[in-house]
Chain A
Amino acid sequence: MRIRGASSTATDGPSVSPAPDFEGAALACLDSLYRTARRLSRDRADAEDLVQDTYLKAFRAADRFEPGTNLRAWLFTILHNTARNRFRDRARDMVAADSELVDNAADAPPPGSSLQAADTPETRLLRETLAPELQAAVDALPQAFREAVWLRDVEEFSYAEIAEMLDVPLGTVMSRISRGRRLLFDRLNPVRPAAARVVAGKL
């Protein structure tokens, strides 16, 4: 189990009770941790389990939290470490698979997505996208891109904080955000690539 800065040095009995304000501040992050856990696991019970485990570890390791640093980012790091540990042995290791995809795809702009100018009818139409449609598109992204875009644009973490959470280099974080945004654009943009239009025309 890897909790950065909270690894395994303590060998004594029960840890000192964390200050109530630490616990209060940590619990104030419950909803956003839960929403993020839901992006990590489509199963609601799994997501709830993840969050509960995150708090369990956080309170246990409270004395190893450095005051003055970002508590919310620390909790998110524990959440992601917990999720990685839990899903590591499962057959579908989405993150690993996606990482390769990112590495292969990062250099090449995706086909069909890059033909619009800055303020065209397409980008204007994009602005009309409703939240449920956007949520569905985000949730349909491959895991690695979904995490990166969500942590950046919804939870508003810094690249460095996200790199720590996902345990990947800074450059990878940026390329995942970039690629994730482009994939979202493709999914949401009403102007589809030619092939998609042909298929749509047959329906």
Chain B
Amino acid sequence: MSDCTSIDPLVTPYVDGELSGADRARVDEHLRRCAPCYSRIAAEGAVRDLVRDRRSALSMERASASLRMACNGLTGRAQVPAGHSLAPAATRVEGRTWIPSWRSVAPVALAASLVVLVGGAFVYQATLHSSRVLAAELTADHLKCFTASSILGTHDAPAAVESSMLSAFGWQLQLPPAFDASGYELVGARRCLYGEGKIAHLMYRDEGRPVSIFMLPSSVREEELVEVLGHEAAIWSSGDRTFVLVTRGSRAEVEKMATFVKAALQ
């Protein structure tokens, strides 16, 4: 019935009591003559009233304490001064390393946000451990850092982060601008306070999925892809540095990601 079709767009606002004047009268008039539409509107109205009546019961679920903490930790933008209390440079290299847009190059869509850069992360002689133990420790660190609320609490300019990396690790790298066309978001720099040693820790988010890249100075390892704690850790060395990329994902996906990062860091 064409008349039914014509009132169709008015049904929802009618049920919600948001129609006025002529439109409401038009629907009322139609409902007097059309039993199916009358029933339909009665059903929709009954459900609407029911859901609204149960609103408070449907709204009992609360965010967990850890989520609350994490989101609270996103406020407050106190800057960590560049290079502040970071350990002295372990190595020096020439030339700048540019981490370009993964989104435009990498086969996996990686790059929603560059979240955190961490200098001076832990190594309890991590370099002496087996790859599996190293991967497990770094994965645990990756999880802790992304879970810990305060991790996202600072917002540093790429320049400040680059300067931290240079003074702490002699690692000269060039980050994309805080906002670039590829969608990187540089949020901040922060130190993880584990152990005595020094590892640089770069944290990214790829569409919300945490991705860590660790850099161990003065360390050379076999290239390896280790599955640990539900994550994949890709390990490789370049010069006298070892890099470990940790994230969740299929082996193939992580391998591609690692290949890309490897190329970018050369």
Which A residues form the contact surface with B (CB < 8 A)? 1, 8-15, 17-18, 20, 23, 27, 30-35, 38, 48-53, 55-57, 59-60, 82, 85-86, 89, 106-107, 109, 113-120, 123, 126-127, 129, 131, 134-135, 138, 149, 152-154, 159, 171, 174-175, 177-178, 181-182, 184-185, 188-189
Contacts and interface: CB of A to CB of B under 8 A. Distances in A.
B67 interface: yes
20 contacts: A1-B112, A8-B179, A11-B180, A14-B178, A34-B61, A34-B67, A52-B67, A52-B70, A52-B74, A53-B208, A55-B74, A60-B155, A82-B208, A118-B42, A118-B45, A135-B57, A171-B9, A174-B9, A178-B11, A181-B48
A80 to B, nearest CB: 14
B205 A53 contact: yes
Given A134-B51, A178-B11, A13 B61 contact: no
Contacts of A175: 8-9, 12
Contacts of B48: 153, 181
A178 B44 contact: yes
B50 A56 contact: no
- Secondary structure call for the A interface: helix
A48 B8 contact: no
A51 B67 contact: yes
A34 B50 contact: no
A32 B112 CA distance: 25
A51 B54 CA distance: 24
A120 B4 CA distance: 23
Contacts, number: 183
B207 A31 contact: no
Which among B13, B51, B66 has the highest number of chain A CB atoms within 10 Å?
Answer: B51
Interface in B154-192: 155-160, 177-181, 183, 185, 187-188
Nearest to B72: A27
A56 B185 CA distance: 10
Given A60-B185, A134-B54, A14 B155 contact: yes
Contacts of A188: 47, 50
Given A14-B178, A106-B8, A153-B48, A31 B40 contact: no
A182 B54 CA distance: 17
Contacts of B177: 11
Contacts of B187: 56, 60
A116 B43 contact: yes
Contacts of A12: 178
B264 interface: no
A11 B178 contact: yes
Given A14-B77, A30-B68, A153-B55, 15 more contacts: A8-B179, A14-B157, A14-B188, A31-B63, A34-B61, A38-B61, A48-B64, A48-B70, A49-B209, A55-B74, A114-B43, A116-B43, A134-B58, A175-B9, A185-B44
Interface in B15-64: 15-16, 36, 38-40, 42-55, 57-59, 61-64
A124 to B, nearest CB: 9
Given A30-B68, A85-B207, A154 B58 contact: yes
A20 B8 CA distance: 46
Contacts of B64: 48
Contacts of B215: none
Contacts of A20: 75
A176 B219 CA distance: 58
Contacts of A13: 156-160, 178
B39 A117 contact: yes
A117 B41 CA distance: 9
Contacts of B152: 52, 56
A31 B63 CA distance: 5
Contacts of A31: 59, 61-63
Nearest to A184: B47
Given A51-B71, A134-B58, A116 B47 contact: no
